[in-house]
Amino acid sequence: MKYALDYALFGLLALYCLACPYTKVEESFNIQAVHDIVTYGVSPSALPQYDHLEFPGVVPRTFLGALLLSAYTYPITMILRLINRGLGWRVIDSKFVGQLVARLTLAFFTCISMHYLRLSVRKAFGQRAERWFFILTCSQFHTMFWTSRPLPNMFAFPMVVFAFAHWLEVVYKRNSMLPLRHVLHYTVMASSIFRFEVALLAGCIVLPEWLIFRSISFREILLNGSIVGAFSVMLSTAVDSYFWRHLCWPEWEVFWFNGVEQRSSEWGVSPPHAYFTVHLPKLLLASLPLVVYALCAQQLGSTGRNHKPRGRPLARFFIPCLAYVTLFSCIGHKEWRFIVYVVPMMNVIAAVGASTIEERSRTSRLHVGLLRLLQGAVIPLSLSASVGLLLISAWNYPGGHSLAQLHDLVPVNYTDAKVHLDVYVAMTGASRFGQRRELNGGWRPPYPVDNLPLQQWQYFKNEQHIKPGEFVEAGYTHLLTTTPMLHKDRFDPIGVTDGFGGISVHRQPLQWLNASLRQKRGRIAIADIIGNNGLIHLSIHPKVWIMERKEQ
């Protein structure tokens, strides 16, 4: 099938999304914005109900990404709500499914961009490289896990991937001017609207193409960058000034806060080498040694393509990515998501290395061994690490799980609840999409109920309450809290949600492996490795208590 690999990639992204459906605080702005647009609309009278006006965050973020996701989310949630209303009971949760649709829509955009990058890899380096690019991409946990998560970086990510797809065209197209124009269009728009650091990546790409390869002129850079940049800034300013209620270009404020004032260091500072010693190895996994091999192999001979591309194509793509990571290392606060954009291009280089190993294995015993090592150990270990990290991640959203559990525990005839969510709950998955029983949520029980009473639940995230009496005075009927002992006199626990508490490795791993191989006759599954008696033990502890006010 022509699109079989694309379907497989989207299926994998959907699996990650469904396995961990909740979102954390980093994704809070965009997921809450999608909810508010879908639920309340965009009229001026609807804006006071928006979450961002109550919890604006440190710096404003753009609404353009949320508006795009809402365009796909709204019709699907409305159809499901009408179905539930017509039947009188819940076939599927029409409210929370909106969060899944929004995330899957973002994943779909990334799949489209990966499709075009994969085609460019095939044209530039052959079908073997294309196949290995797909395998390596799917074996990496962080990129696959976060692709569907509405971080600003993940809105910029598919635009950067589109730019990379056009960048590769300089290998097999005689006229490289047009591809590099497209590179400018995507990166300038992404940096102006979603993430300012993409501008640095654009500079690292375009400057060598202008100064060294003479693939684009300064006039083209200035003209295309200015036009697209001006359009992007005006679009963002017009839309976001409306939603934020004051003149606002969000990404400029983010740049000033993080890049100029260096305020991001308030969230921690890492050593200059952290991107190279911690974050890149974590992001690339199996691709890292293959990148090194591909670059070395290119210095010694062909990279496996029947017709050798002009120039030094791998270095042409590798050095700008390396320069970007090096320059961004100057900022003290470091997170993997600031450099995630280089991962697809690193995978392209790694795929060329893997295809070279496969091609040379026909004539070289050394490469036969390398291919067996790659197929039998490196890729399986990368996949195993991804599975293990997914299992851990599934326990990292107790706030979202506790909110869902609350709705299942409280009877359907309890119509006027006032629920308080503490900070930890709000940060670990409890989004507005999870507030299923509010008045305009269209909530229905999962079974038919005659004369279903109108649900008028209210949800609060007030951070000013400190003393136990303040929660009672506020009239809360239910609490989702991490401090149950503080409220034991006025509230009774009716449920508890567990979460990830840490990880430990067996003290004698070689003895464990020896015993397991004998016991399992050489066959060890993931479930044997991760578990109470496994090589890796996950500590699961109670995290959130669901409490109900005592009857007076």
Contact between residue 294 and residue 350 where contact means Cβ atoms under 8 Å apart: yes
Q: What is the mean pLDDT of the chain?
A: 89
Domain boundary among 361, 393, 425: 393
- State the pLDDT at residue 323: 98
More reliable by pLDDT, 182 or 174: 182
Q: Give the model confidence (pLDDT) of 410-451 as tens digits.
A: 987 888 899 999 999 999 999 999 998 876 555 555 545 555
- HSE-CB at 119 with a 13 A cutoff on CA atoms is 11
Is the Cβ–Cβ distance between 31 and 23 less than 8 Å?
Answer: yes
Identify the CA nearest to 208 among candidates 323, 66, 337, 96. Answer: 323
Tell me the per-residue pLDDT of 323-365, one tens digit each, with 9 for 90 and over: 999 999 999 999 999 999 999 999 999 999 999 999 999 888 9
Question: Tokens 């191989």, residue?
Answer: 517
Distance (Å, rounded) from C-alpha 508 to C-alpha 489? 46
Q: Beta-carbon neighbour count of residue 325 at 10 Å?
A: 20
Domain identity same for 270 and 375: yes
Q: Reduced to 3 states, what is the DSSP secondary structure of residue 552? A: coil
Report which of residues 345 and 514 the model is more confident about.
345
Instruction: Report the pLDDT value the prediction gives residue 176, as an integer from 0 to 100.
Output: 82
- Confidence label for 377 from pLDDT (cuts 50, 70 and 90): confident
**In this model, does residue 277 exceed pLDDT 80?**
yes
Residue 482 counted as domain residue: yes
Are residue 207 and residue 351 in the same domain, yes or no? yes
Give the pLDDT band (50/70/90) at residue 507. Answer: low
At 211, the amino acid letter reads: L
Q: Which residue has 């647009």 as its token pair?
A: 37
User: How much is the average pLDDT of 454-468?
Assistant: 87
The answer to pTM > 0.75 is yes
Sign of dihedral through CA atoms 271, 273, 274, 278? Answer: negative
Mean pLDDT, rounded, for 108-133: 96
Spatial contact of 439 and 456, defined as CB atoms under 8 Å apart: yes
**Judgement on whether residues 414 and 348 belong to the same structural domain of the protein:** no
The pLDDT value given to residue 521: 59
Domain containing residue 127: 113-393
Q: How far apart are CA 204 and CA 199, in angstroms?
A: 9
* Pure H helices in 336-456: 343-360, 365-373, 379-393, 398-409, 423-427
49 occurs within a structural domain? no
- Residue 259 counted as domain residue: yes
Q: Say if CB 319 and CB 89 are below 8 A apart.
A: no
Model confidence at 532, pLDDT cuts 50, 70, 90, reads: low
Helix (H, G, I), strand (E, B), or coil: what is residue 454? coil
The confidence band for 313, taking pLDDT boundaries of 50, 70 and 90, is confident
Task: Count Cβ atoms below 10 Å from residue 128 Cβ, excluding itself.
Answer: 20
**What single-letter amino acid sits at 399?**
G
181/155 same-domain check: yes
Residues 402 and 304 in one domain: no
If asked whether residues 310 and 429 sit together in one domain, one would say: no
Q: Mark whether 359 and 402 lie in a shared domain.
A: no
**pLDDT higher for 31 or 387?**
31
The predicted structure's pLDDT at residue 508: 63
The packing angle between helices 64-87 and 96-125, to 10°, is 130
> In a 3-state reduction of DSSP, which class is residue 66?
helix
Q: Yes or no: say if 156 and 106 are a contact pair by the CB < 8 Å rule.
A: no
Q: How many domains does the chain contain in total?
A: 2
The fraction of the chain above a pLDDT of 70, given in percent, is: 87
Domain boundary among 376, 393, 410: 393
**Residue 97 resides in a domain:** no
**Does 75 reside within a domain?**
no
Q: In sequence order, which ranges of 126-257 are alpha helices (DSSP H)? A: 127-138, 141-146, 152-167, 169-172, 177-193, 198-211, 218-244, 250-255
- Is the four-CA dihedral 110, 98, 23, 191 of positive or negative sign? positive
* Domain match, 354 and 452 both: no
Residue 192 is predicted with a pLDDT of 98
Query: For residue 82, is it within any domain?
Result: no
Higher-confidence residue of 41 and 509: namely 41
Q: Verify that 455 and 404 share a domain, yes or no.
A: yes
Cβ atoms of 478 and 549 closer than 8 Å: yes
From CA 97, how far away is CA 433, in angstroms rounded?
8
Among residues 139, 86, 118, 95, which one has the least CA distance to residue 6?
A: 118
The pLDDT of residue 80: 79
Domain-terminating residue out of 349, 376, 393: 393
Q: What is the pLDDT of residue 2?
A: 76
* pLDDT score for 454: 62
Look at residue 82 in the predicted model and tell me its pLDDT: 78
507 & 362 share domain: no
Residue 231 lies in a domain: yes
Cα distance between residue 397 and residue 378, in whole Å: 30
**What is the average pLDDT across 255-263?**
88
- Per-residue pLDDT band for 308 (boundaries 50, 70, 90) equals very low
Instruction: Answer yes or no: is pLDDT of 86 > 70.
Output: no
How confident is the model over 475-504, as a mean pLDDT? 93
Whether residues 375 and 416 share a domain: the answer is no
Q: Is residue 406 in a domain?
A: yes
Which pLDDT score is estimated for 525?
57
Contact predicate 347/290, CB 8 Å = no
Is the domain of 527 the same as that of 549? yes
In the sheet that holds 458-460, the strands lie side by side as 458-460, 418-421, 478-481, 536-549, 491-505
Q: How far apart are CA 121 and CA 161, in angstroms?
A: 12
Per the DSSP assignment, residues forming a β-bridge with 505 are 536
Q: Measure the CA–CA gap between 334 and 274, rounded to whole angstroms.
A: 8
